[in-house]
Structure 1
């Protein structure tokens, strides 16, 4: 029953993500920073709500992610979700793509206000975010490796401390989810509302696109 409930929760979250992506796409070109700021806030709250829900789940089910396709679990997931640095890499990619497309305008002094028009201060903050996030990712990866290698798995009586192992897994996954959420929040803080909207649309495109590809691939392999 718990797996079924967790699967329903994931599908509800994904449906909400699709809706927010649609709203952000419709509003990101409008000259209304307040509306964009509100939508960006709702997007972050949506991620935060799902993060809180995951914290209540059995960590073993969270790590195995039975609601995800094999492609998602095998090719995209790090500690039961996307690597936080993926968002930073996506930000750099989207910024570079837009910068190249609008370079002639920028040389003429025409500012676009989108991700291709990041200021030196913003770039410095993004670089700092990337360095800090990589360091935290590495620490969590090492911690999970110790759990998987069985460090501290044997109790005083010589028996495997299952509860202790599950507790350590819960702790690592909780910190990984917290890092994902902090990375989203910090990226949004650095960016202007229109820029944040572009990044979040791209992030939703990636999440939903990989999901659809994984399901399509699994379906083709089973035929």
Structure 2
């Protein structure tokens, strides 16, 4: 019972953080769109750089909270109840694929130079290679979860003896560590990819990129919540 209460508290705490984080995300999107329309001036450059730093700090807070949740209960991040079914369908190792960021650059960032194009092309290749490696690792983790030894013990949950309970707990602890490790690597790839994009782009292009990323997330969120709401109404 205590474990269930702790599990619920951790989940509710992150959900509360995430709702507030999304509101701040909307606010940052409005600021990014506004500054992108402002005429060039020394004051704009100052505000633009400060805003970029704030948005990157905003994302840092998100990944920090995710890491804390993973330490408490990593399984929640792989079945996030705070997301719509549409959002969950787009996830890769508990979040969006980092290569998605690069597609956003292609569609939203203007005025890329040949050198920037080349650097982004190399980044795409590096990112997709790392994604393939992590996808393979995640598949191996999932296969081990469905392995006969864990399933055999799990099917006996209603009639486990003390030793078997310990065996199941040990198996789940191993699984938790494996999932936490692959999530940490996936999040590191997401962060590294975003940092490299920002290093390649100019500040004004970075504003375009960050606006596109925020707009994409918020639009998917809105669509997903609306679809879930319609689905609930149709089943009443």
TM range (shorter): 0.7 to 0.9
Aligned mates of 2:174, 2:20 — CA distance in 1? 31
Alignment of 1:132-147 (within 5 A): 132-147=126-141
Aligned equivalents of 1:82, 1:167: Cα separation in 2:
21
Q: CA deviation at 1:151?
A: 7.1
Segments of 4+ moved more than 6 angstroms:
none
Unaligned 5+ segments in structure 1 are 95-114
1:86 corresponds to 2:80: no
**Structure 1 position 148 matched with structure 2 position 142:** yes
Tell me by how many angstroms 1:139 deviates.
Answer: 1.0
C-alpha distance in 1, partners of 2:21/2:32? 16
Distance 2:145 2:35 in 1: 51
Q: TM-score, with normalisation over the residues of structure 2?
A: 0.80
C-alpha separation in 2, matches of 1:3 and 1:132: 34
CA contact (8 A) 2:145 2:175 kept: no
The answer (yes or no) to whether the contact 1:65–1:73 under 8 Å persists in 2 is yes
Larger Rg: 2
Q: Determine if the alignment matches structure 1 residue 53 to structure 2 residue 65.
A: yes
- Specify which structure has the higher proportion of helix: 2
8 Å Cα contact 1:44-1:185 kept in structure 2:
no
**Are 1:122 and 1:191, in contact at CA under 8 Å, matched by a contact in 2?**
yes
CA distance in 2, matches of 1:220, 1:185: 38
Deviation at 1:122, TM superposition (A): 0.6
Q: Which of 79, 86, 91 is the equivalent residue of 1:64?
A: 79
Mapped partners of 2:222, 2:31: distance in 1: 20
Structure-2 separation of matches of 1:33 and 1:135 = 35
Shift of 1:116: 2.4
Distance in 1 of aligned mates of 2:195 and 2:46 = 17
C-alpha offsets along residues 84-120 of structure 1, whole Å, 9 cap, x if unaligned? Answer: 00010111122xxxxxxxxxxxxxxxxxxxx321111
* Residues 7-156 of structure 1 aligned to structure 2 (within 5 Å): 7-30=15-38, 31=40, 32-57=44-69, 58-74=73-89, 76-94=90-108, 115-150=109-144
Q: Tell me how far apart the structure 1 counterparts of residues 145 and 79 of structure 2 sit (CA, whole Å).
A: 21
Q: TM-score, normalised by structure 1?
A: 0.85
Unaligned stretches of 5+ residues in structure 2: 1-8, 151-162
Deviation at 1:2, TM superposition (A): 1.1
Higher mean C-alpha displacement, 198-207 vs 178-187: 178-187
Match of 2:188 among 178, 188, 195: 178
Aligned length: 201
Aligned Cα RMSD in Å?
Answer: 1.9
